[in-house]
């Protein structure tokens, strides 16, 4: 593996802001691509989405920790794309780039003078990645896309929660769109080796949410059943969910009949009891089953049951808070906490990439990672490079 990662020969121009597009660009940067983030004079909106702030302990309040979550391994240049001179700078970047990412509302980039046709005139090999809220065409293509709106419109909230629809605790529509765009871009780059030409890869927040409906989607499409909120338990498998104990809750996943028999033995239940003998029976009598299990679990603290499940080979776990997650040795062993040096804020700890290659101890494809940039931190360097 090279020091800079498997995509180290690629240049990505990142015109995106907020979260979905920056997530896609960061994923490519994690794999070694040089990512130049083009920002307006006021910067990416998420720089101001705080508190908390990246430099709070040191008295700096310029950039939010939200911004830090999606912008590592990038350079920043400030351009006003309505200014002809700065528009020329972008054109020069496009001429050298392999990938351009954008998440403007449909038609905005066209109005700025950078239609798909012009972009490919400037660089026929350019792969263009585009994220919109609801798709680039169709009757509602004009709508602006925000994560919570997409979670609701795409049906995800309707199956999340206990008594009423609830959003996921992270901007999952944004994150899914970013991940989908990144893998689509990599596929288009692979195709370019054969054709010599770039193409446009499009996705949306809506597509990302609908694309992960999984069994909840086919419950309606094939089963004719409209699923509702399922709380902390699986709607089609039992017992599979979160259970109260004598102290903290535990999660148990009994995903097969073999595991059910092991679980029943561990908690001193009759596996052949008529209400619970098969998964179909257990799902039909889920509330009764949960009651029996929690009555038993109430007699001992969570650690007792977790140890018992582990010894019996039954998948189980605790519900960790964020501070506990990032102190967990297993998380640290996977390179999922990165330490980078920032020119204004000093040492920063960031979440890492979910990918690992070979024996690289870091997550992602790089040997080293770079802190998210200050607004316009690399403007002079990038402009000088373009004039070489």
Q: What is the pLDDT of residues 176-229, one digit of tens each?
A: 999 999 999 999 999 999 999 999 999 999 999 999 999 999 999 999 999 999
Span 76-127, pLDDT tens digits: 999 999 999 999 999 999 999 999 999 999 889 999 999 999 999 999 999 9
167: tokens are 């959003």
pLDDT at 363: 75
Q: What percent of the chain has pLDDT over 70?
A: 98
Does the pLDDT value for residue 312 go beyond 50?
A: yes
Span 16-62, pLDDT tens digits: 999 999 999 999 999 999 999 999 999 999 999 988 988 765 555 67
Catalytic residue positions, numbered: 174
Q: State the average pLDDT over residues 135-163.
A: 95
pLDDT at 324: 97
Instruction: Report how far apart, in Å, the C-alpha atoms of 329 and of each of 284, 314, 316, 349 are.
Output: 39, 21, 18, 15
Instruction: Report how far apart, in Å, the C-alpha atoms of 106 and of each of 122, 135, 202, 336 are.
Output: 21, 8, 11, 35
For β-strands 99-102 and 127-132, DSSP reports them as parallel
Q: What is the pTM of this model?
A: 0.93
Instruction: Report how far apart, in Å, the C-alpha atoms of 308 and of each of 10, 124, 223, 265 are.
Output: 50, 61, 37, 11
DSSP string, 247-277: SS-EEEE--SHHHHHHHHHHTT--TT-TTTS
pLDDT at 260: 97
H/E segment holding residue 127: strand 127-132
Does the pLDDT value for residue 167 go beyond 60?
A: yes
C-beta pairs of 161-170 under 8 Å, 24+ apart in sequence: 161/229, 161/231, 162/229, 162/231, 162/232, 163/229, 164/229, 165/229, 166/229
CB 30 within 8 A of CB 353: yes
Strands of 99-102's sheet, edge to edge? Answer: 75-78, 34-39, 11-14, 99-102, 127-132, 200-204
pLDDT at 361: 74
Give the residue among 243, 284, 235 at the shortest CA–CA distance from 266: 243
Q: State the average pLDDT over residues 314-337.
A: 95
pLDDT at 54: 87
User: CA-to-CA distance for 181 and 178, rounded, in angstroms?
Assistant: 5
Strands of 250-253's sheet, edge to edge? Answer: 240-243, 250-253, 316-318
H/E segment holding residue 339: strand 337-342
pLDDT at 364: 82
Does the pLDDT value for residue 12 go beyond 90?
A: yes
Confidence of residue 1 (pLDDT cuts 50, 70, 90): very low
Span 282-311, pLDDT tens digits: 999 999 999 999 999 999 999 999 999 999
CB 98 within 8 A of CB 12: yes
Give the residue among 346, 364, 345 at the shortest CA–CA distance from 355: 364
pLDDT at 61: 60
Q: How far is CA 190 from the centre of its chain?
A: 23
For β-strands 316-318 and 250-253, DSSP reports them as antiparallel
């Amino acid at each position: 593996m090279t020091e800079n990662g498997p995509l180290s020969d690629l240049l990505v121009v990142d015109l995106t802001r907020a979260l979905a597009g920056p997530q896609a660009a960061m994923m490519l940067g994690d794999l070694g691509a040089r990512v130049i983030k083009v920002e307006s004079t006021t910067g990416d909106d998420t720089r101001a989405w705080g508190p908390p702030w990246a430099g709070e302990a040191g008295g700096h309040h310029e950039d939010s920790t939200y911004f830090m979550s999606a912008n590592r391994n990038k350079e920043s240049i400030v351009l006003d794309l309505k200014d002809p001179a700065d528009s020329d700078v972008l054109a020069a970047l496009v001429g050298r780039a392999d990938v351009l990412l954008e998440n403007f509302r449909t038609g905005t980039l066209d109005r700025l003078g950078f239609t798909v046709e012009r972009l490919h005139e400037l660089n026929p090999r350019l792969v263009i990645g585009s994220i919109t809220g609801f798709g680039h065409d169709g009757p509602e293509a004009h709508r602006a896309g925000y994560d919570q709106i997409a979670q609701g419109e795409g049906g995800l909230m309707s199956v999340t929660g206990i008594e009423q629809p609830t959003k996921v605790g992270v901007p999952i529509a944004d994150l899914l769109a970013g991940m989908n765009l990144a893998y689509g871009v990599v596929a288009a780059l692979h195709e370019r080796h054969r054709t010599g030409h770039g193409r446009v890869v499009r996705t949306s927040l809506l597509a990302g949410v609908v694309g992960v409906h999984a069994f909840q989607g086919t419950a309606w499409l094939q089963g004719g059943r409209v699923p509702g909120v399922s709380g902390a338990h699986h709607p089609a498998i039992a017992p599979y969910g979160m259970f109260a104990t004598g102290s903290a809750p535990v999660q148990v996943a009994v995903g097969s009949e073999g595991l059910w028999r092991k679980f029943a033995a561990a908690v001193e239940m009759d596996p052949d009891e008529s209400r619970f003998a098969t998964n179909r029976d257990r799902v039909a009598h889920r509330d009764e089953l949960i009651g029996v299990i929690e009555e038993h679990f109430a007699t001992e603290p969570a650690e007792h049951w977790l140890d018992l499940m582990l010894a019996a080979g039954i998948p189980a776990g605790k519900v960790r808070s964020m501070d506990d997650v990032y102190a967990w040795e297993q998380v640290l062993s996977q390179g999922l906490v990165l330490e980078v040096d920032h020119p204004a804020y000093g040492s920063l700890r960031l979440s890492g990439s979910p990918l690992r290659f070979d024996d690289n101890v870091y997550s992602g494809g790089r040997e080293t990672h770079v802190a998210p940039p200050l607004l316009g931190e690399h403007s002079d360097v990038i402009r000088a490079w373009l004039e070489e």
